[in-house]
Amino acid sequence: MSVIYKNSMNAIGKFVPEKLQPLWKHPAGPQTIFFWAPAFKWGLVIAGLGDLQRPAHKISISQSCALGITGLIWTRYSLAIIPQNWNLFSVNLFVACTAIYQVSRALMYQRQQAALEASKVTSSDPVH
């Protein structure tokens, strides 16, 4: 770890209230990458929530599947590593949930469109 970063964290740590010191000194706390990586990953969750307004026909099923699977894998991994990282667990769980919801929206839309097309074909067939 860089000397500048370490000194900065020590200086900031002096201003952290006593009640928050356990969080500050936690092995997955704000002084480590184990805190900051999941903190920035919440941006994916925010983007996923914003995509809930996107029309279902514009959802990429492959991209949403990849996000969902990655979220599930990292959700499991976050509990297997030491220290267990509950922030990483929660962000990946939310990433997986939003992605799986998007996949389900896209698949339901595709089924509705297929049913609509099938009904058009059967209604346009001449009756003998």
**Which pLDDT value is given to residue 25?**
83
User: Which pLDDT belongs to residue 97?
Assistant: 96
Contact in structure between 119 and 81 (CB atoms under 8 Å): no
pLDDT digits (tens), the chain, 128 positions: 688 888 888 888 888 888 988 888 888 788 887 888 888 999 989 998 999 999 999 999 999 999 999 999 999 999 898 888 889 999 999 999 999 999 999 999 999 999 988 888 887 766 65
pLDDT at residue 31, rounded to an integer: 81
The one-character DSSP state at 120 is H
Give Cα 38 distance to the centre of its chain. Answer: 10
Token pair in block for residue 100: 């799986």
